[in-house]
Amino acid sequence: MDLRHKTVLLSFCLIFSKSNSQTRIQELSAVQYNQNVIISYLISAGNSCTGYQILRSNDSLNFDVIFDYAGICGESTKSQNITYSDESPQKNRKNYYKVLIQPSDYSNVISVFYTDLAEKGYLLMQNPITQYLSLMGALNSGNLKIYNQMGALTLSLSPNEQGLYHEDISWLGNGIYYFILENAKGKPLHGKFIKE
């Protein structure tokens, strides 16, 4: 490769990295709030833009547009704060988000794990379990009691501040275990898991 081609390639790389590092989309964040994910960000001061899109993915690679604003955005003298509520996030999994200001100004990708306890009242993070039990209960849940197949109590756990029961259970023998999660509403929740 001669010097002229190297110079052109270097110039292209510098322009590409400069355009990515100077996105107008700042302070992008996402947080679960009740049954929604709230996405907020700033469009920094500058020329007006002609629309933006909010995109969501399940794998951080393949994104779908969940909101398309086709109007004028951005202000010349101050940053514009934008908030959007995703009312249908993917349940009990990580949701990835990014923002595009048309035609090609992309934000960084961010993620939030959306937890929906409505169906069972709890979320067992994995099943079967080899080492760590991780179970998310409602914030007002009480003790988690784990029983072996013979009905003997093998473990009793209390949740942390976020309602997570997390414990190393590698010492438990392999097999099926049943649990009862105390519920402040009165009716205990029942479930089971496999220990391998």
Closest C-alpha to 99, from 80, 116, 120:
80
Q: pLDDT confidence of 88, banded at 50, 70, 90?
A: very high
Domain ranges of the chain: 22-114, 122-195
Q: 122-135: per-residue pLDDT in tens?
A: 888 888 999 999 99
pLDDT tens digit string along 153-177?
999 999 887 778 999 999 999 999 9
CATH class in words for 122-195 = mainly beta
Question: Are 153 and 139 a contacting pair, CB within 8 Å?
Answer: no
**pTM exceeding 0.75:** no
CATH number of 22-114: 2.60.40.2060
Contacts of 63 (CB under 8 A, 6+ apart): 55, 56, 57, 96, 98
Q: Residue 97 has what pLDDT?
A: 98
pLDDT at 90 over 80: yes
Q: Does residue 117 register a pLDDT over 90? A: no
- CA dihedral sign of residues 72, 70, 34, 110: negative
Tokens found for residue 110: 């961010």
Length of the chain: 196
